[in-house]
Amino acid sequence: MKKLLRILKWTGLVLGMLLILFVLVVLLLSKRHFDAPYPNITAVNESAVIARGKYLAYGPAHCASCHIPASAASGINNGEELPLSGGHDFALPIGHIYSTNLTPDPATGIGNLTDQQLARALRYGVGHDGRALFDFMPFHDLSDDDLRAVISFMRAQPAVKHQVPATDMNFVGQAVKAFLLKPVGPTEPIQPSVSVDTSAAYGKYLVNNVANCKGCHTNRNLFTGAYIGSELAGGLQFESDTEPGTWYVTPNLTPDRETGHITGWTMNQFIKRFRQGPVIPKSPMPWAHFRQMSDNDLKAIYNYLHSIEPVHNKTGPAYVKAQ
């Protein structure tokens, strides 16, 4: 019996030491800094460039859906162009992530950051202090011209003093930062500029590089962010923040004849649906921004979505209300 107790004692001590070592490794690695190049992007004070950046921010790139306080969401839904002062709380299983203040306030916003630091954050997912950013802004493949336009618009906003809470990760979140979170760079050669037209090629650029349709309309692991489903085939589930047990499910956007959500829609029906806005209460789809897209951009997206490979994936109802 004494021998067994000694074995258990030493086993417990070893396991305890390993646990402490694991915790220390997690805390150490979660504070890692990364190197990434600084894109040669400089903001300009040109009205056409700023207008393009504003259109992207309040339209297809839907920056304002995240970079405003949640309390101001009704204003965005009513078509107001609110400053991107940050503060939206992403309450996730790994902790709370707060969107940053993107106005040029020097104390609480981007006023003291360089254009190149902002460009690096958007293109490579590395913050000004070298930390890896959570990939909520998948704009890594924006063209140089569009990246310049977005940063030029950010500089042209009125400065808003708004101190955003620091990101608060639980231990699981710290482990994700330590072992899984790494910078994400471009997935294709960066285009200096893109042709703005109604082609499927431009639609692909909007869907993949600007509007981030794949981010929601592809099933993924919400702990790691990794994609686990076929691209644009839907099936990702979002639980309501305000109604426990209520779920939103993203539909299949591929042109599968049986399970594709927009299969059979005409181009006019597609555009009309976007102009209509939300029909499901508190839908996570940023309708307030997407309804601001031009007809030509919506035509390009329609043409692209009808050109991709169909995937048979029955996603079921888009809204499942708690019983």
Q: Tell me phi and psi for residue 118, to 5 degrees.
A: -65, -40
Provide the sign of the torsion angle of the four alpha carbons 73, 79, 85, 90, taken in this order: positive
List the beta bridge partners of residue 169: 95
Q: Are 186 and 123 in contact (CB under 8 A)?
A: yes
User: C-alpha distances in angstroms, 15 versus 2, 9, 18, 20?
Assistant: 20, 10, 5, 9
In the block, tokens 């644009």 appear at: 232
**pLDDT score at 79:** 73
pLDDT value, residue 283 = 85
Q: What is the pTM of this model?
A: 0.89
Q: Which of 208, 234, 239 lies closest to 222 in space, CA to CA?
A: 239
Q: What is the predicted pLDDT for the residue at 206?
A: 98
What's the helix, strand, coil split of the chain in %, to 5?
Answer: 40, 5, 55
> From CA 152, how far away is CA 157, in angstroms rounded?
9
Alpha-carbon separation of residue 258 from 120, 235, 263, 266 (angstroms): 42, 15, 8, 16
- Dihedral sign (CA 153, 201, 291, 248): negative
Q: What CA–CA distance (Å, rounded) separates 214 from 216?
A: 5
CB atoms within 10 A of CB 38: 15
Q: Where on the phi/psi map is residue 235: left (φ > 0), alpha (ψ -120 to 50), or beta? A: left
Task: Please check whether residue 285 is in contact with residue 238, taking contact to mean a CB–CB distance below 8 angstroms.
Answer: no
DSSP 25: H
The tens digit of pLDDT for each residue in 104-116 reads 999 999 999 999 9
Q: What is the distance between the alpha carbons of residues 128 and 113, in angstroms, rounded to a whole number?
A: 7
> Nearest 10 degrees: CA dihedral of 173, 178, 180, 185?
110
Alpha helices in the chain (DSSP H): 2-29, 47-58, 73-77, 115-124, 144-156, 171-179, 200-205, 213-217, 267-276, 287-290, 295-305
**Alpha carbons 252 and 233: distance in angstroms, whole number:** 4
Kindly give, in sequence order, each residue whose CB lies less than 8 Å from that of residue 12, ignoring residues fewer than 6 positions away: none
Is the CB of residue 132 less than 8 Å from the CB of residue 183? yes
Residues of the chain under the 50 pLDDT cut: none
Q: Can you tell me the distance from the alpha carbon of 306 to that of 253, in angstroms, rounded to the nearest whole number?
A: 9
Q: Which tens digit of pLDDT belongs to each residue from 129-164? A: 999 888 888 899 999 999 999 999 999 999 999 999
Give the sheet arrangement for strand 237-239, strand by strand.
Answer: 237-239, 247-249, 319-320
Give the amino acid at 222: L
